[in-house]
Amino acid sequence: MMNFLAEKTEQFPGNLLMLADYKAQHVALSVQKKIATITLNRPEKKNPLTFESYLELHQIFLHLAYADDVKAVVIVGAGMNFCSGGDVHEIIGPLTKFTMPSLLRFTRLTGELVKAMRACPQPIIAAVDGICVGAGAMLALASDIRFGTGRCKTAFLFTRVGLSGCDMGACALLPRVIGQGRATDLLYTGRVMSGEEGERWGFYNRLFDPAEVLQQAQSYAYDLSCGPTFAHGMTKKMLQQEWNMSVEQAIESEAQAQAICMATHDFQQAYQALTEKKHSKFEGN
């Protein structure tokens, strides 16, 4: 396991432009109609993460920046649950035997996954049902949009195993989504947030019946993929970058971003469609 953390990665070809060409080994991956659906597929254990799946997810999100065939991403869990966090026997147990340097390699890896999700230009929609805890809750939080169900049970369990609540960027991301006081409550206690509470607090954008949540997420992703995807990528980048800017800096950055978008073909053809009273046909360039 030590050598795995230090050395093993799933390598993509350097000239990869089609994510559909990649054969995932530790998660299920499909690409249809420009939508990549990533499925955490260990339903018998409520879809826990392993060292291997952490690494593979990290590689997939890194290379989405170069994937010409993907305009939006959906992440979902197989069966009736999203993700139960790190596997007790395959991650938590081995971690108790790691040295400090190996522990730091692992915790940095988990953070790198969140950074890769935030940095990839495609919108990420999490379709969440059932259990969504620990690192699984962080995968949902790192997504751009979260669709849930009434039976969602979301918890940041880190303090329940003697760890701090500041895992994988939780102390930075969660307050921005639901507010400082609510985030403090969840991160101190590790308690379960229901689907209804999660929607009320703004963690879940919308709730659906369990049978519908994946289809709704994919439909939403498809609608985004038919829009000005270059501009969506710019919006995602600015939403993240402006966290650390003053209002004056943000206004200037947005002026530059908007000028870049005005130079795209999508903007030109949208104007043409407006003048001809036709629907715009965006191409993402």
List b or e across 176-212, with b for residues whose CB sees 16 or more CB atoms inside 10 angstroms: eebeeebbeebbeebebbebebbbebebbbebbeeee
Comparing C-alpha atoms, which of 129, 126, 49, 62 is closest to residue 94? 49
Comparing C-alpha atoms, which of 205, 261, 257 is closest to residue 230? 261
To which H or E segment does residue 37 belong? strand 35-40
The string of pLDDT tens digits covering residues 147-194 is 999 999 999 999 998 999 999 999 999 999 999 999 999 999 999 999
With cut-offs at 50, 70 and 90, classify the pLDDT of residue 271. Answer: confident
pLDDT value of position 108: 95
What is the total residue count of the chain? Answer: 285
Domain range annotation of the chain: 2-225, 229-275
Query: If 0-12 CB within 10 Å is exposed, 13-18 middle and 19+ buried, where does residue 102 land?
Result: middle
CATH assignment, 2-225: 3.90.226.10
Q: From residue 145, how far is each of 18, 123, 137, 140, 160 by CA, in Å? A: 24, 8, 13, 8, 27
CA 128 to chain centre: 12
Angle at 170 between CA 216 and CA 71, to 5 degrees: 35
User: Could you write out the DSSP letters of every residue in 131-193?
Assistant: EEETHHHHHHHHSSEEEE-TT-EEE-GGGGGT--S--TTHHHHHHHHH-HHHHHHHHHH-PPE
Question: How many other CB atoms are found less than 10 A from the CB of residue 273?
Answer: 14
With cut-offs at 50, 70 and 90, classify the pLDDT of residue 248. Answer: very high
Q: What is the 3-state secondary structure (H, E, C) of 75-129?
A: EEECCCCCECCECHHHHHHHHCCCCHHHHHHHHHHHHHHHHHHHHCCCCEEEECC
Comparing C-alpha atoms, which of 199, 278, 269 is closest to residue 230? 269
Which residues contact residue 178 at a Cβ distance below 8 angstroms, ignoring those fewer than 6 apart? Answer: 186, 201, 202, 203
With cut-offs at 50, 70 and 90, classify the pLDDT of residue 8. Answer: very low
With cut-offs at 50, 70 and 90, classify the pLDDT of residue 92. Answer: confident
Rounded mean pLDDT of the chain?
Answer: 92
With cut-offs at 50, 70 and 90, classify the pLDDT of residue 1. Answer: very low
Question: How many other CB atoms are found less than 10 A from the CB of residue 80?
Answer: 13
Query: If 0-12 CB within 10 Å is exposed, 13-18 middle and 19+ buried, where does residue 1 land?
Result: middle
Token readout for 243 is: 């966290």
pTM here?
0.91
pLDDT value of position 7: 41
